[in-house]
Amino acid sequence: MSAETFELARWSLADLLPATHGPEFDGVVKELESAVAELESYRDRLSPDMATGQFLSLMDLVTRVAAVGGRLRAYGYLWFSEDTQEQEALAFRGRVDKLLTDVQNRTLFFTMWWKGLDDEPAARLQAASGDNVYYLESLRRFKPHTLSEPEERVINIKDVNGVQGLVTVYEMITNAFTFDVEIDGEVQKLNRSELMVYARDPRPEVREAIYRELYRVYAQEGTVLGQIYQYLVRDWASENLELRHFASPIAARNLANDIPDPVVDTLLEACRANAGLFQRYFRLKAGWLGVDKLRRYDIYAPLTASDKTFPFDQAAEMVLASLDDFSPAMAGHARRVFAEGHLDSELRPRKDTGAFCYSVLPGLTPWVLLNYTGQASEVATLAHELGHAIHALMAADHTPLTFHSSLPLAETASVFSEMLLLERLLGQEKEPAVRRDVLARFVDDTYATVLRQAYFVLFERDAHKLIAEGQTTDQLSAQYMDNLREQFGDALELSEEFRWEWTAIPHIYHTPFYCYAYSFGQLLVLALYGQYREEGEPFVSRYEKILAYGGSLSPAEILAEAGIDMASLEFWNRGFAIIGEMIDELEALS
């Protein structure tokens, strides 16, 4: 490992497309057009009695269209993420969105035919479709909620020009925000990633100042951001409740995730019932920090004042070493992200302020974006996003239609990679005070991943109902404050500016009801990690097998490999029990 060097860098998108205009780009578009035209030629040949060989040829074309279209879509998104104000990137993304909407509408006939096929011929063709079985099963799950072909075309056009346009405007507005805050006697102008570094500052007055400034800026645009959200929610209701007849707004997401509604209800209620666990932690933390009660500004405060940062090279080595200890194969996949220039880690103005991993095609090394500030939390973020990349590369033997894991399992490898990093850090530290700090940071992050995300979804359920009743942005903010009061109880003081926090949560805008996947993933990983502690080395191959399934089986079938029943309240409570053990250890160390 000593021969490896890792530096902050901007990624290269050259492996995605040869160019964004000119003959080379035109060649990619022609390749897509050729596959679409050949696929369209099957329209009049579709039949319940068609030969399996003919059906497989058809599926090859569906896969080719998905692969080429996926490259174009990914380039548009990743280029935009590099610089959210870059006009050429915006124009390219708009051009690609229009092109792919046209492709989607021209090839819609296949999915419409497949969903409408009787069960017997569908079962015959599906049985011969190899790795694409679960993809085809998933399409048929939506049969009761599918409209006519002309109606589906209109919805596709509506989405690209309406919903996606509104989300892009939200991203442009919020990514352009800058925040003025006084640090060490000097007023600094920061983007959101830079600002939130100070959420873990040891000085209470600094933590208060950055949160006040964060929500002062969001509040200035609160009416606009709230109105964008209301339009997105109304569109979601118009399509999914009025036209597609889902039973509830969240039911549309649950069906896409192949998670039954009662399972999601059980997960959310388990989180709600265990809010007291984190309230206990916050009361303990107040004592450790020497205050009577925490403020909302203080929940991520470090237990000891430290300005320790980690150079990027050291962070990369720490993450890769923790992966090497568990599985050299997984560490090798992570190294590909660095070696192929697919990591954008440096801080830049106008860059997307978040962190993500974009997996495009099987075997193609994913692209990872983060804004590396040197904080310990950013080391964990690096482990998290590389975990996503590992998951995609472990599933490289599947098709473009089945290698992506389903949303509830999408956080498995990412959070498990964080657990491996934690294990390595705790293994190296024998000093009680240092172990306490490492454990406390993990519990802080677990709160943010489990309870906080579940309460985002609980707020979304309320917000969709309120918007349907014609309530205002201010009333949504009042509901969000009620949500926070339930979440924290009397364990901390809650300031009024947090009423605007919901406008700063991108997921509720671009992917409604997404966030329970984080709660699902973290609690699942805690259960898996418990198995790893009990079994040791034999667990590794089973875990790798879970990742290697990608999205080729249902979540229930994949979890059965680990002996997990996601419908069981006991399973979810097992994850909370492990969190409770960590809090007990923290109390003992203190």
375: left (phi over 0), alpha (psi -120 to 50) or beta: beta
Give me 533's structure tokens: 């502690």
Report if residue 78 sits inside a domain.
yes
Helix (H) / strand (E) element for 501: namely: none
Report if residue 243 sits inside a domain.
no
Please tell me the predicted confidence (pLDDT) of residue 305.
Answer: 66
Transcribe 54-77 into DSSP letters: HHHHHHHHHHHHHHHHHHHHHHHH
Query: Where a domain ends, among 136, 161, 186?
Result: 161
Q: Give the integer Cα–Cα distance in Å for 409 and 554.
A: 10
Q: Give the integer Cα–Cα distance in Å for 501 and 225.
A: 11
Structural domain range at position 429:
312-349+381-449+523-589
Pairing of strands 356-358, 179-183: unpaired
Q: Give the integer Cα–Cα distance in Å for 526 and 577.
A: 9
Report if residue 548 sits inside a domain.
yes
Give how far the C-alpha of residue 148 lies from the chain's centroid of Cα atoms, to the nearest Å.
31
- List Cα–Cα distances, 80 to 161, 212, 350, 365, 571, in angstroms: 17, 29, 10, 19, 40
Report if residue 505 sits inside a domain.
no
Please tell me the predicted confidence (pLDDT) of residue 267.
Answer: 97
Number of domains comprising the chain: 2
Which residues have a Cβ under 8 Å from the Cβ of 580 and sit 6 or more positions away?
277
Residue found under tokens 């040869």? 18
Please tell me the predicted confidence (pLDDT) of residue 16.
Answer: 95
Please tell me the predicted confidence (pLDDT) of residue 437.
Answer: 84
Specify whether the CB–CB gap between 122 and 49 falls below 8 A.
no
Q: Give the integer Cα–Cα distance in Å for 532 and 545.
A: 14
Closest among 373, 230, 200, 405 to 298, alpha carbons compared: 200
Instruction: Check which CATH number belongs to the domain holding 45 and give it.
Output: 1.20.140.70
Query: Where a domain ends, among 127, 161, 195?
Result: 161
Residue 67 — φ and ψ, nearest 5°?
A: -70, -50
Report if residue 337 sits inside a domain.
yes
Report if residue 188 sits inside a domain.
no
Closest among 262, 155, 252 to 464, alpha carbons compared: 252
Q: Which residues pair with 181 in a beta bridge?
A: 188
Per-residue DSSP letter, 362: T
Instruction: Give the gyration radius of the chain's Cα atoms.
Output: 24
Report if residue 294 sits inside a domain.
no
Please tell me the predicted confidence (pLDDT) of residue 427.
Answer: 87
Closest among 453, 329, 342 to 391, alpha carbons compared: 329
Report if residue 419 sits inside a domain.
yes
Closest among 421, 366, 370, 383 to 8, alpha carbons compared: 370
Residues of the chain with pLDDT under 50: 1-2
Query: Where a domain ends, among 133, 161, 189?
Result: 161
Please tell me the predicted confidence (pLDDT) of residue 590.
Answer: 74
Pairing of strands 186-190, 179-183: antiparallel
| Statement: the pTM of the whole predicted model exceeds 0.85 | yes
123 exposed, middle or buried (CB, 10 Å; 0-12, 13-18, 19+)?
exposed
Transcribe 94-128 into DSSP letters: HHHHHHHHHHHHHSHHHHHHHHHS-HHHHHHHHHT
